[in-house]
Amino acid sequence: MEIDGLEHYLKASEIAKKIMKYGRELVRKETSYLKIAQSIEEETKKLGAKPAFPVNISVNGNAAHDSPELNDARQVKPTDLVKVDFGAMIEGFCIDTAFSYSPNSEHAKLIEAAEMALQNALSVVKAGVSTKAIGKEIETTIKQYGYLPVENLCGHSLEEYNLHAGIEIPNVERGGHILKEGEVFAIEPFASTGAGRVNDGDYCQIWSLNPQSNMNVRLPKSRELLATIAEDYMTMPFAARWIKNQSMLFLSLRDLEKQGALESYPVLKEAKKDAFVSQAETTLIVEENGAKILV
């Protein structure tokens, strides 16, 4: 069957596999959040893709959407559990993938729970299967390890220039979309020692243009920034540190958000204090009798 952008997906897939290997080696020696994120983003470009979104370096109870700022001084500590989430995009077709790492073997079982949940989920993917059955695999696997899946974080369908294209793959037994051949999905189980729920934090470094916005912005400074964003990133997420002109940047970003021109993606934190969260993620194309796994 004809799959929209297949050639681009396959090229992005080759690149994402290389970045995955590069990233897994990198976190073993580099501890600066900023250097890890920037090095992976640079490597992505060097290999011929674009970062589909800013590299997320989310540590311990921060489950997702933490991306370093310019001059970020944070370092991974020996007791930390790190999630590295990155994307490779070719002509708008994106691979979304993540891995977890800790220098401390104490987190090994939690990391394995997310990885095994992903493997078990992949083993049931094929055309005709319900997203509910996939969520059930994830939930059952993570609970067997003695943890909770994060129920308000989901996998998702992907389309051209659209990372979250509307269909969810839940991490619990829920939902009812029937997978169709040729659909592209990211599956991303999160295993938690906490409540199994995340809330928005205050820290926010990731934004994207709201495609529904009418771009009618009054302040010249904000208008100028919005034009730059539309030109450079279209509707894809970007990091504040990617913007060249940093003068009064956050005032303009907040202004644009208030007017509905931008969406913000604040860090997502486990509801329970001092919890640890692990993540595994891959992107796949649904096939008649299985899945083409792209990372």
Kind and range of the H or E run holding 157: strand 155-157
156 is catalytic: yes
Counting residues that bind Mn ion (by CB under 5 A) gives 6
164 is catalytic: yes
Of 12-20, 81-89, 142-150, 204-212, which segment contacts Mn ion by CB under 5 A? 81-89
188 is catalytic: yes
Question: Running DSSP on this structure, what letter comes out for residue 273?
Answer: T
Q: Cβ neighbours of residue 279 under 8 Å, at least 6 residues apart?
A: 58, 63, 64, 83, 85, 98, 99, 100, 114, 188, 189, 190, 191
Of 18-26, 188-196, 227-235, 242-250, which segment contacts Mn ion by CB under 5 A? 188-196
The CA angle 30-272-263, to the nearest 5 degrees, is 70
Of 5-13, 210-218, 245-253, 281-289, which segment contacts Mn ion by CB under 5 A? 281-289
| Residue 63 makes contact with Mn ion by CB under 5 A | no
Pick the catalytic residue: 66, 137, 270, 281?
A: 281
User: 174-189: string of b/e by CB count within 10 Å (b at 16+)?
Assistant: ebebebeeebbbbbbb
66 is catalytic: no
Closer to Mn ion by Cβ: residue 98 or 240: 98
The CA angle 29-30-34, to the nearest 5 degrees, is 170
Question: Of 43, 66, 85, 151, which one interacts with Mn ion (CB under 5 A)?
Answer: 85
Whether residue 22 contacts residue 99, with contact meaning beta carbons closer than 8 Å, is answered with: no
Window 251-270: residues binding Mn ion (CB under 5 A): none
Query: At closest approach, how far in Å is the CB of 234 from Mn ion?
Result: 18
How far is 89 from 87, CA to CA, in rounded Å?
7
112 is catalytic: no
Pick the catalytic residue: 41, 43, 66, 96?
A: 96
| Residue 173 makes contact with Mn ion by CB under 5 A | no
Residue with token string 């055309």: 127
| Residue 96 makes contact with Mn ion by CB under 5 A | yes
Per CB under 5 A, residues contacting Mn ion are 85, 96, 98, 186, 188, 281
By annotation, the residues acting in catalysis are 85, 96, 156, 164, 188, 281
